């Protein structure tokens, strides 16, 4: 029996139990405040007299959010449906008051039209709620993560630049005394030779000294090359692989002629990357293929390519001395050599440089061999579409 149920005190309910709310007149753009809840008063540090009869905009912080608020209210009026939007609001705690402190948080503002029987808008209920705490936490976590990533990137860039500068200075300052040692040993040798007192042993020892300086010179150059690979400000472009291999063949023409080497290659696609690095990559692999040839066997180098959708997979294979499977990983480490300097010349950085270049281009490199009759180096390089897609999606973030 409805008569016996006591009617709830809607006014009291509104003022105390409904959260942060205002009731407004739909008198756009003034939006007169006709009721305020206690929690709202506490949040904005005002009492009821200061708010009733005033325009909402007098109370609302004068930021660009105020424009959005008007738009939302008008939308609620026009569509006769609740309109919500989010923003960050900072409610400050006044010193010495009991008012609760509110952090700068995401709040949802909802403006709900209240209609009479004939579809006219009587009031707008303006409600403020804390946005979903989980969604909030997610946003905060994302912002924190991005800040960390940015800082990490800056640190890496700085570290890379420092490494390059260090390598440049170190190599430069090392080369000068090296040059002096080498040159004056040669000058001394020439002088002593004229007195005819140099025996075979002495000549041999002098050779050791001079080849030591050459080895050092090569090491310094290779270290410098290695340190330069991390640079991010170098132009990335489309590279004509076939033209590049021809250039490499020309550069290696002396050793190709001497060893009677042949280099076969498929129809190779254009690749996308840093020209000088990709050229260094192929050069090192082809040079190795020729260098580590089997005695009495003319080296044959074959370059093939496989289409892997987002990547091209290249392989450089030879018919040389091969690599034992237990060294498959180690050979890509810096300075790791499988043979002595007397057997095969080299600094041991060549493959480390190849690995760094491939990985800098987001690819992978690996080796296969039966340890006997030849070796295959395979590496992947991204296609142009893959790189440009990645770059544009990163730019969006």
- CA 37 – CA 10 distance, rounded (Å): 12
What is the gyration radius of the CA atoms in the chain, in angstroms? 38
Reported as half-sphere exposure (CB side, CA atoms, 13 A), residue 157 has a value of 8
User: Applying CB under 8 A, which of residues 160, 182, 240, 255 lies at the interface with another protein?
Assistant: 182
- CA 122 – CA 177 distance, rounded (Å): 92
The token pair at 102 is 């509110």
In terms of CB distance, is 93 or 172 closer to another protein? 172
Helix, strand or coil, per DSSP, at residue 201: helix
In the complex, least distance from residue 154 CB atom to another protein, rounded to whole angstroms:
23
In terms of CB distance, is 39 or 230 closer to another protein? 230
Residues in the chain: 397
Residue 179 makes contact with another protein by CB under 8 A: yes
The token pair at 132 is 């979903």
37-45, 129-137, 178-186, 328-336 -> range binding another protein (CB under 8 A): 178-186
Tell me if 241 sits within 8 A of 268, measured CB to CB: yes
Task: Spell 124-151 as b/e; 16+ CB within 10 A means b.
Answer: bbbbbeeeeeeeeeeeeeeeeeeeeeee
In terms of CB distance, is 57 or 178 closer to another protein? 178
Residue 166 makes contact with another protein by CB under 8 A: no
66-74, 120-128, 181-189, 332-340 -> range binding another protein (CB under 8 A): 181-189
In terms of CB distance, is 86 or 186 closer to another protein? 186
- CA 107 – CA 103 distance, rounded (Å): 11
Residue 172 makes contact with another protein by CB under 8 A: yes
In the complex, least distance from residue 175 CB atom to another protein, rounded to whole angstroms:
5
User: Applying CB under 8 A, which of residues 110, 175, 315, 386 lies at the interface with another protein?
Assistant: 175
Residue 207 makes contact with another protein by CB under 8 A: no
User: Applying CB under 8 A, which of residues 45, 63, 183, 262 lies at the interface with another protein?
Assistant: 183
- CA 287 – CA 299 distance, rounded (Å): 11
User: Applying CB under 8 A, which of residues 180, 207, 330, 390 lies at the interface with another protein?
Assistant: 180
Between residue 354 and residue 383, which ones bind another protein under the rule CB under 8 A?
A: none
In the complex, least distance from residue 252 CB atom to another protein, rounded to whole angstroms:
20
- CA 49 – CA 121 distance, rounded (Å): 25
Tell me if 107 sits within 8 A of 113, measured CB to CB: no
- CA 260 – CA 298 distance, rounded (Å): 6
33-41, 172-180, 251-259, 262-270 -> range binding another protein (CB under 8 A): 172-180
In the complex, least distance from residue 206 CB atom to another protein, rounded to whole angstroms:
12
In the complex, least distance from residue 210 CB atom to another protein, rounded to whole angstroms:
8
84 forms beta bridges with 110
User: Applying CB under 8 A, which of residues 66, 138, 149, 214 lies at the interface with another protein?
Assistant: 214
User: Applying CB under 8 A, which of residues 213, 240, 255, 366 lies at the interface with another protein?
Assistant: 213
User: Applying CB under 8 A, which of residues 4, 94, 97, 176 lies at the interface with another protein?
Assistant: 176
For the stretch 160-167, contacts whose Cβ atoms lie closer than 8 Å and that sit 24 or more positions apart, written own/partner, are 160/230, 160/231, 160/232, 163/227, 163/230, 164/227, 164/228, 164/230, 164/231, 166/227, 167/223, 167/224, 167/226, 167/227, 167/228
* Binding map of another protein across residues 221-250, x = CB under 8 A, - = no contact: ---x--------------------------
* Binding map of another protein across residues 324-343, x = CB under 8 A, - = no contact: --------------------
Residue 168 makes contact with another protein by CB under 8 A: yes
| Binding-site ranges for another protein (CB under 8 A) | 168, 172, 175-176, 178-180, 182-184, 186-187, 210, 213-214, 217, 224
């Amino acid at each position: 029996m409805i008569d016996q149920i006591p009617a709830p005190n809607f006014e009291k309910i509104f003022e105390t139990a409904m959260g942060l709310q205002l009731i407004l007149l739909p008198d756009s753009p003034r939006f007169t405040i006709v009721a305020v809840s206690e929690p709202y008063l506490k949040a904005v540090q005002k009492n009821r007299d200061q708010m009733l009869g005033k325009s909402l905009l007098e109370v609302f912080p004068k930021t660009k959010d105020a424009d959005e608020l008007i738009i939302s209210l008008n939308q609620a009026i026009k569509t006769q449906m609740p309109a919500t939007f989010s923003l960050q609001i900072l409610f400050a705690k006044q010193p010495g008051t009991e008012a609760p402190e509110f952090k700068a948080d995401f709040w949802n503002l909802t403006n709900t039209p209240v209609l009479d029987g004939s579809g006219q808008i009587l009031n707008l209920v303006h409600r403020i709620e804390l946005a979903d705490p989980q969604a909030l936490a997610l946003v905060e976590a994302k912002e924190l993560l991005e800040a960390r990533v940015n800082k990490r990137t800056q640190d890496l860039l700085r570290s890379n630049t420092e490494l390059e500068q260090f390598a440049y200075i170190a190599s430069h300052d090392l080369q000068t005394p090296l040059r002096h040692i080498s040159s004056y040993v040669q000058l001394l040798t020439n002088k002593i030779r004229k007195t005819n007192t140099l025996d075979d042993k002495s000549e041999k020892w002098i050779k050791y000294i001079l080849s030591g300086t050459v080895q050092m010179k090569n090491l310094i150059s290779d270290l410098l090359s290695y340190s330069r690979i991390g640079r991010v400000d170098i132009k990335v472009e489309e590279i004509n692989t076939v033209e590049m291999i021809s250039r490499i063949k020309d550069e290696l023409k002396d050793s190709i002629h001497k060893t009677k080497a042949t280099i076969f290659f498929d129809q190779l696609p254009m690749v996308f990357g840093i020209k000088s690095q990709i050229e260094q990559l192929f050069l090192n692999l082809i040079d190795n293929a020729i260098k580590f040839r089997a005695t009495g066997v003319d080296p044959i180098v074959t370059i093939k390519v496989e289409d892997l959708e987002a990547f091209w997979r290249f392989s450089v294979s030879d018919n040389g001395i091969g690599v034992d499977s237990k060294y498959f990983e180690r050979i890509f480490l810096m300075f790791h050599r499988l043979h002595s300097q007397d057997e095969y010349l080299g600094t041991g950085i060549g493959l480390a440089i190849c690995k760094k270049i491939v990985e800098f281009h987001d690819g992978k490199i690996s080796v296969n061999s039966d340890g006997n009759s030849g070796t295959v180096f395979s590496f992947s390089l991204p296609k142009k579409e893959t790189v440009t897609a990645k770059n544009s999606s990163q730019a969006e973030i």
